[in-house]
Amino acid sequence: MTAQIAFTVDPWCVREPELRLDVLGTTESVFALSNGHIGVRGNLDEGEPHGLPGTYLNSVYERRPLPYAEGGYGYPESGQTIINVTNGKLVRLLVDDEPFDVRYGTLLRHERKLDLRAGTLERVAEWRSPADQEVRITSTRLVSFTHRSVMAILYEVEPLKHAARVVLQSELVANEQLPMPASTDPRVAAVLESPLAPLEHDRDGNRLTLIHETRRSGRRMAAAADHLIEAPEGVKTSMETAVQENWGRVTATATLQPGQKLRLVKFVSYGWSSERSVPALRDQVAAALTGARHTGWDGLVAEQRAYLDDFWAGADVEVDGDPDLQQAVRFALFHVLQAGARGEGRPIAAKGLTGPGYDGHCFWDTETFVLPVLIHTAPDAAKDVLRWRHSTLPKARARARTLGLEGAAFPWRTINGDECSGYWPAGTAAFHVNADIADAVIRYRDAVRDEEFDRTVGTELLVETARLWRSLGAYDRAGKFRIDGVTGPDEYSAVADNNVYTNLMAQRNLRAAAAVCRRYTDEATALGVTGKETTAWRECADSMYIPFDEKLGVHPQSEGFTDHAVLDFESLTDADYPLMLHMPYVQLYRLQVVKQADLVLAMQLRGDAFTAEQKAANFAYYEKLTVRDSSLSACTQAVMAAETGHLGLAYDYACEAALMDLHDVTGTTLNGLHMASLAGAWSTMVGGFGGMRDHSGTLSFAPRLPPELKRLSFGITHRGLRLRVETDGAEATYTLTDDASTLDLLHHGQRVTLVAGEPMTLPVPPTPARPRPQQPHGRQPRDMRAGS
């Protein structure tokens, strides 16, 4: 894929200057709109051609059986797959009986633009029909941040040369036919056909309602659309409405002179529930439509911009010196916001609501990669995700019991909280997800100081995950606390002993649980926590075994890892990657080869547990082994490259992470955006070149710039205060914008107290010179300039 040339480079938008049918699936993902509740792919208004049509509602999924050639105790029998719900985006156009289809006639102009400040997807098309009629079509689409259930479209058409009879058909369509999966990659989501059983359909004037139910999972969902048609004075329009079980249609016809526009505003609302009745759902979507009509198109547009203005004021990252990177980082932040803004107690999937990849499942990515961004830019969205995790505690407790463990065992991949992983060595065994959730709780607490959350949701999550670790690990003969037979972040190793990442994260988890129980004794007592238990947690943490290879002077990723043979990278070519599609696990697992940062991620998240020398040695060691077959790697490598002083390398990785989807680095963007890598793009700036860490409860920064960048500025929200950090590489300036506040922070290790309204400028110390670490043969950071 070379989708990168599809887009122009602009600071505040992503623009496709001409239609590229060859990468339509990719651009649909890039142009997806979402508010975390509704997600719509950037499909053309007229529906066809498409890469993959997609409309999603957070947590509307279908169950499907998980088959096994050889079953085993505790294997989940049923999985969940996000489904393509009723499509409300469709607006078809006929010009003098000729359907507007970009594959026929002549496309004179076609431009699409995702506006990161307006929160809209705009389109302009000028088309000459096979019958030589020319029209201009403009459409603007938004999924409202302020009206959670509402999508709206403004669609306009005007003839350019001759009078034309135009027909607009605005539709709702359920159970759209989906294309066959274009890949044998097992990561590509299973496609479910006709998942929606019709319950009710209705029309009322220009209003359409379709109510359906998923066949197995019993999710009832309603979609409704209302329409405003405006024609120039004197132009007669005819309207017609039809509805059936799986589709509804409003048709408007008019004959227009050149310069005359037919204008359609389409409001679409969605609602779903596994509990509420059909009448309740019917009323819910009707109310949402009424609300949207009351606000009106211009009102929705204005609210959208105001919402985003506020977001950008606090969260914008400015990057001078690399316009591609500037665009990519804002694009990334925009999509991370879209994924979580209005989730409200629902998960953030690995692809957000931009595509069906990974079956719409939420993984550890969310807590480890996405939440750090939201915690510092949209903390309420972060809280909502953790509340969702908390709501699944009963399932996680039951899962732990099934596994013979205490506390809670959260699923590796899920939508509703039930484990959906059909391959336990890279699923159930990846217990680190539990510490990752705890880590997000700790980071949220440190950054937001939300006592009510901490006392309730936070305490229970920390306690139950700590209980898991205590039951999972054991003391060895030497009195060390070991955690054997688990899988760390690197999926090219599995079921190994004493994974350093896991053990360090579990250590943090255990200590935090003990601490929170000391703070909130009533809540702890209600959870059955005793002093003996918290003491045991602290002892486990203090005795945690962290293997170290004295001879090599590095940490083995897991015990024994550095004794394994190194994969013969020299024998491989580009076509052999990603390795899991060309080599069996039985080979990958027993060799030194790293799919994605594991020990290196431990050094980012538990930087307090390593010396600077260890970080430098470990980073160089694992660079030689890491092939980045996961999109979750480059961002972490960028951050740790920056910390260990390899700023050029950090820059290269930052570009790769930030451009993962805009350049379709993995060739899988058509299945949805890589939300964790997008979040990681922010981390490369803030955690990488900004050096931000929050290991100890005190924010620390260590700004440093690679030669390619002239200036970096970013804003974060910390404990309700807005902080802006700016550096040109020589100095760094910290500004607290809120009145009458102060903030203690560390600048390159120096403790300072920042006072609101008094920007503080401090010098950046020189970077120690070290040779640039080497990557495996052929796995250097991608040159993101190459194709653009």
| Residue 604 C-beta: closest distance to a copy of itself, Å | 27
Count of C-beta atoms within a 10 Å radius of residue 351: 30
Q: Identify the three-state secondary structure at position 309.
A: helix
Contact flag: residue 425 with a copy of itself (CB under 8 A): yes
For 72-217, strand residue ranges (E) read 78-82, 91-95, 98-99, 106-115, 120-128, 134-143, 150-159, 164-173, 196-204, 207-214
Q: Between residue 26 and residue 85, which ones bind a copy of itself under the rule CB under 8 A?
A: 66-76, 79
Alpha-carbon distance of 337 to 171, in angstroms, equals 28
| Residue 356 C-beta: closest distance to a copy of itself, Å | 16
Contact flag: residue 468 with a copy of itself (CB under 8 A): no
Contact flag: residue 424 with a copy of itself (CB under 8 A): yes
Q: Which CB, 373 or 494, lies closer to a copy of itself?
A: 494
Task: List, in sequence order, every residue forming a beta bridge with 360; answer none if it has no partner.
Answer: none
Contact flag: residue 563 with a copy of itself (CB under 8 A): yes
Q: Identify the three-state secondary structure at position 160.
A: coil
Q: Which CB, 5 or 581, lies closer to a copy of itself?
A: 581
Alpha-carbon distance of 80 to 61, in angstroms, equals 6
Contact flag: residue 730 with a copy of itself (CB under 8 A): no
Which sign does the torsion angle of CA 647, 503, 453, 408 carry?
Answer: positive
Interior/surface letters 446-468, b for 16+ CB within 10 angstroms, e for the rest? bbbebeebbeebbbbbbbbbbbb
| Residue 583 C-beta: closest distance to a copy of itself, Å | 6
| Residue 41 C-beta: closest distance to a copy of itself, Å | 25
| Residue 597 C-beta: closest distance to a copy of itself, Å | 21
Of 551, 730, 749, 768, the one binding a copy of itself (CB under 8 A) is 551
Of 583, 721, 746, 762, the one binding a copy of itself (CB under 8 A) is 583
Q: Which CB, 235 or 546, lies closer to a copy of itself?
A: 546
Of 584, 749, 766, 771, the one binding a copy of itself (CB under 8 A) is 584
Q: Identify the three-state secondary structure at position 115.
A: strand
Stretch that binds a copy of itself, among 337-345, 577-585, 669-677, 704-712 (CB under 8 A): 577-585
Contact flag: residue 589 with a copy of itself (CB under 8 A): yes
CA angle 31, 351, 58 (to 5 degrees): 95
Alpha-carbon distance of 595 to 330, in angstroms, equals 27
Distances from the Cα of 713 to the Cα of 235, 371, 724, angstroms: 53, 21, 7
Count of C-beta atoms within a 10 Å radius of residue 318: 16
Of 183, 587, 696, 698, the one binding a copy of itself (CB under 8 A) is 587
| Residue 395 C-beta: closest distance to a copy of itself, Å | 16
Q: List the one residue out of 575, 547, 574 whose CA is nearest residue 560.
A: 547
CA angle 215, 219, 221 (to 5 degrees): 105
Q: Are 358 and 687 in contact, with CB atoms under 8 Å apart?
A: no
Q: List the one residue out of 57, 486, 454, 67 whose CA is nearest residue 274.
A: 57
Q: Between residue 162 and residue 191, which ones bind a copy of itself under the rule CB under 8 A?
A: 186
Q: Which CB, 543 or 767, lies closer to a copy of itself?
A: 543
Contact flag: residue 477 with a copy of itself (CB under 8 A): yes
Q: List the one residue out of 515, 425, 552 whose CA is nearest residue 696.
A: 515
Count of C-beta atoms within a 10 Å radius of residue 268: 31
Q: Which CB, 536 or 583, lies closer to a copy of itself?
A: 583
Stretch that binds a copy of itself, among 29-37, 141-149, 160-168, 423-431 (CB under 8 A): 423-431
Length of the chain: 788
Q: Between residue 482 and residue 501, which ones bind a copy of itself under the rule CB under 8 A?
A: 482, 484-486, 494-495, 497
Report the run of H or E that residue 269 belongs to, with start and end. strand 262-273
Mask 367-406, x = binds a copy of itself (CB under 8 A)? -----------------------------------xxxx-
Contact flag: residue 479 with a copy of itself (CB under 8 A): no
Q: Which CB, 12 or 548, lies closer to a copy of itself?
A: 548
Is 491 designated active site?
yes
| Residue 57 C-beta: closest distance to a copy of itself, Å | 25
Catalytic residue among 46, 62, 491, 726: 491
Of 162, 519, 582, 785, the one binding a copy of itself (CB under 8 A) is 582
Contact flag: residue 617 with a copy of itself (CB under 8 A): no
Which residues of this protein are in contact with a copy of itself, per CB under 8 A?
66-76, 79, 186, 402-405, 421-429, 474, 476-477, 482, 484-486, 494-495, 497, 551, 559-560, 563-565, 580-587, 589-591
Catalytic positions, written as ranges: 491
